[in-house]
Each structure stands twice: as structure tokens, then as C-alpha cells.
Amino acid sequence: MKYLYGERKLLRRDLSPLLTGARQWAEAIPPKFLRPHEVQRLFGALEFSSPWHIRAAAIVHLAYTLGLRPKEISLISLDDVSFRKAELTVRERKGKNPVTLPMPEQTVKAIAAYLIGVRPKSRHRTLFLTLHAPYGPVFPGTVVGTIGRAMREAGVPGSAYWLRHTYAQNLLEAGLSIYEIQLMLGHDRIESTKPYLHIHIKLMREVLFDETL
């Protein structure tokens, strides 16, 4: 109603204060995501000039193209990556439901660049390791910090979870059902997926107002 009144000028009065809803939806905050030009800016700014940047590029690709949580990225094992099939098996998921996901070519290349040029030899089977000895698996906080720094360097607002939300947005625009999105995001309950329906603003405006964002 605020949009119809304030931006579209289709209402003579702001009716939003008159609307009420169930408490859980009234307090819900719609997930934030990146616009297409922000995605282009982020990936256009990724560098391969240092070990940190090479590792960061692989992490950003996984977060955006597969919608993985920081913890899921930190727990990926070398055994989970299939370069021949271009697939990644995500075993450690919040909903305890492992899944094998196809990896886009650019994500495969980013992981390969990290493995060939950066990852140190180690007894650990975890894909992403620290950059300095003694080498060990990275923590989820390292993944969060890495994505945040990459976004800041690109001049793009947001955080690690914005990439996950953008992934959900892309699935919606591709026509996937909420049940398919639930599987891809690794939610054990459909209620956890429902909030992602709030982010399909682009389609709503195109259908209702013939707008192109």
C-alpha cells in the first residue's frame, strides 16, 4: 500500500496502517538480495592477484551459484567435488539432508584455480584451508569475512547471506516451485522456505504495473 500511495500515486490515502497480519508475518523482514548490475560488479571485481583473492573467488562462486551457507562452504571436502561430473555433494547441511548439486563451469574453474595455485599440501581433506601455517580448515566466520571483504572491494552492499538470497531469487525467476527451492536451499521445513517468496518483487511489478527494473 505504501508503494501504491507513495510511488505509484494510485491511492489518495496511505492505507498501509490499516493492514494487519499474523504476528509472525508482521515482524518478518524480507531477505535482501543483489540486483543484476550488482552481481555483475561483484564478479567483475574478483581478482586472482594473490592467494587470498583466488580463494575468495572460489568461495564467492560457491555462495552465489549454489546458495551455500558459510558453514556448508567451510565443511566441503575434497571428496565432495567431482570435476568429471561438475557436481558438488553437500553432506553437512542444516536440515540433515545431503544433496548433490550441479556446478556451473565458472564455479568449477574457480575451485580448480584455488586447488592448483593456492591450496597447500595438507593431511586435512577439507577443501578450503587457512593461508598460513599451520594449515587447517577455515571456520564459517572466515567464509563470512571473506565474502564481506570481496563485496566491499567491489563496492557492493550486503553480506554473505545476500548471495544465498540472490540464489533463491534466481530460482524463483527460473520458475522453480517452492518445494524445489526447499530442496536446493537445504531446508527441512517448508516454513523455512516461505519467506523467500517475499523477494520476487521484480515479477510482481512486471505483472501488476508493466514495469521493467
Superfamily for domain range 33-209: Intergrase catalytic core (1.10.443.10)
Q: How far is CA 200 from the centre of its chain?
A: 15
For residues 206 and 39, what is the distance between their CA atoms, to the nearest angstrom?
21
- pTM of structure: 0.74
Give the residue extent of every domain in the chain: 33-209
Secondary structure class of 28 (helix, strand, coil): coil
**Bridge partners of 137?**
129
Instruction: Give the pLDDT of residue 207.
Output: 47
User: What tens digit of pLDDT does each residue of 28-38 get?
Assistant: 555 677 888 99
For residues 46 and 152, what is the distance between their CA atoms, to the nearest angstrom?
11
Q: What is the mean pLDDT of residues 158-177?
A: 79
Tally of helices (H runs) and strands (E runs) in the chain: 11, 3
